[in-house]
Structure 1
Amino acid sequence: MKLIAAQILAVPGEVEKNIARHIDVIHLAASQGANLLLFPELSLTGYEPGLADVLAVHPSDSRFDEFQALSDRYGMLIAVGAPTKGTKGTEISMITFQPGLERTTYSKQLLHADELPFFTPGTQKLVLSQANFVLAPAICYESLQPSHAEQAAESGAQVYLASVAKSERGVASAYSHYPMIAKKHSMTVMMANCIGAADNYVAAGRSAIWNSDGEIVCGADAFQEALVAYDIQTGEAGIFSLA
């Protein structure tokens, strides 16, 4: 299975523009043979907690129908980030599209303290299956909590999908933590981070993939939009510029 993490620059608050960019990236990922494409946290709106309540969507939003059509066309799992309308408030969610299946939604269960004024935590665990691999979603802060990775491993996950919006400091923590959990749980870990302005900081890119031995197989820089690709079966890895 070929995994691709999309490192992109979102336009804050501009959902339609971000949808168009996602569609372009999906076509490019398909040209590289992707079976799975992971976008950063809140990729459809940008990481802007102050705007999230106004921008919150329902996962069934018809604006996302093209993602399903492309998933069906390319046989690809596509995971995008968006604020969604939960029963108790706005949630930070990963909406996934799989060939011939209903879209599914996972909402971040462990929120950072800075997020609590804007978001409510999700309550449902989720694992996905694609190309005979079991996948576990994780969204930014919770992906750095050992308990979250342990639960993913207990659920049989072979791939840990870390969709993030991390600063330079957060990326440094990720580069320390992800190799450890990859090796400990024999899970491939992929991190899709954004670049550019995000809330009150600058997102620091460096999207990367670690194999199940905890070795980094490829990683992007901190500034450029890029696709980070890794084929689990062959070990082939590469970085493709989106410039």
Structure 2
Amino acid sequence: MKLCAVQLASHKGDLAGNVHRHLHAMEQAAALDAELVVFPELSLSGYEPTLAQRVVTAADDVLLRPLQAQCDRLAVTAAIGLPMPAAAGVHIGMLILRPRQAPLLYAKQRLHADELPFFVAGAQPLVFAAGSLQIAPAICYESMFIEHAHSVRALGAELYLVSVAKTAKGVAEGFAHYPKAARQSGMAVLMANCVGAADNFIGAGQSAAWDAQGNLLGQLDEHSGGLLLLDTTRNSAQAFALEFAP
């Protein structure tokens, strides 16, 4: 199976513009035969906690219809980050759009202290089928706790789909942690990080893939938009540029 981590800079609070950028990225990933595409944390709004209440977006919002249509047309599953409504506030969410199927919703279960004033935690893990694999999403901070990887592995997950918004320090910590998580859980790991300005930091990119033995298969650079294509059949990963029209 081929899966693609999309590394991009989201425009702060620009939902419509970011939808357009997601559509272009999905088109380019599908041209590489990707069956699943994963975007960085809160990719649809940008990682901007202070804007969460203003840009919260429900899964059935009309704004998202072009993304579902793109998944249907390209036969691609897309894991998209967005602030989702919750009974007690706003979730850091992942909307998983599947071709010609109902979407799946996942909410970050473990929040960083800086996120607590703006978001509420989710309560349910998720493992879903895509192509030949059972896949478990993880969103940034929670993915740094080995217990999370072990818990989804126990539910049958074969690949850890990690969506993050990390600084250079956070990426360095991830590169130390994710190989261990892969080896200990027996799951391959695909991480998608942002680049550019986000909240009060700069996204440090370096989206990467590790196999189930913890071997680094490939990574992107720290500042450019890009696509990292993981081929689980060949146990390889390849980097490609991400192009947007002027």
User: What is the TM-score with the length of structure 1 in the denominator?
Assistant: 0.98
Aligned residues with identical type, % of pairs: 42
1:31-86 Cα distance to aligned partner (Å, 9 max, x none): 00001100000000100000011100111112111222221222211000000110
- Give me the whole-angstrom Cα distance separating, in 2, the residues matched to 1:216 and 1:68: 32
Q: Which residue of 2 aligns with 1:19?
A: 19
Structure 1 unmatched ranges of 5 or more? none
Q: Which residue of 1 aligns with 2:124?
A: 124
How do 1:139-178 and structure 2 match up within 5 A?
139-178=139-178
- Give me the whole-angstrom Cα distance separating, in 1, the residues matched to 2:213 and 2:99: 30
Q: How many residues align?
A: 243
Q: Which residue of 1 aligns with 2:91?
A: 91
Q: Which residue of 2 aligns with 1:10?
A: 10
Instruction: Note the C-alpha offset of 1:146.
Output: 1.1
Name the SS for the 2:160 alignment partner. Answer: strand
- Give me the whole-angstrom Cα distance separating, in 1, the residues matched to 2:127 and 2:18: 26
Amino acid at match of 2:17: K
Instruction: Note the C-alpha offset of 1:113.
Output: 0.4
Instruction: Note the C-alpha offset of 1:147.
Output: 1.0
How do 1:36-75 and structure 2 match up within 5 A?
36-75=36-75
- Give me the whole-angstrom Cα distance separating, in 2, the residues matched to 1:98 and 1:35: 10
Name the SS for the 2:101 alignment partner. Answer: coil
Give the alignment's Cα RMSD to 1 decimal: 0.8
Q: Which residue of 1 aligns with 2:180?
A: 180
18-27 vs 63-72, which deviates more? 63-72
Instruction: Note the C-alpha offset of 1:152.
Output: 1.1
Q: Which residue of 2 aligns with 1:203?
A: 203
Structure 2 unmatched ranges of 5 or more? none
Name the SS for the 2:123 alignment partner. Answer: coil
Amino acid at match of 1:28: Q
Name the SS for the 2:69 alignment partner. Answer: helix
Instruction: Note the C-alpha offset of 1:30.
Output: 0.5
- Give me the whole-angstrom Cα distance separating, in 1, the residues matched to 2:23 and 2:100: 18
Instruction: Note the C-alpha offset of 1:99.
Output: 1.6
- Give me the whole-angstrom Cα distance separating, in 2, the residues matched to 1:229 and 1:239: 6
- Give me the whole-angstrom Cα distance separating, in 2, the residues matched to 1:234 and 1:209: 13
Amino acid at match of 1:86: A
CA contact (8 A) 2:3 2:231 kept: yes
Name the SS for the 1:240 alignment partner. Answer: strand
Instruction: Note the C-alpha offset of 1:125.
Output: 1.6
Amino acid at match of 2:196: G
Instruction: Note the C-alpha offset of 1:100.
Output: 1.9
- Give me the whole-angstrom Cα distance separating, in 2, the residues matched to 1:236 and 1:149: 22
Name the SS for the 1:82 alignment partner. Answer: strand
- Give me the whole-angstrom Cα distance separating, in 2, the residues matched to 1:166 and 1:187: 21
197-206 vs 61-70, which deviates more? 61-70
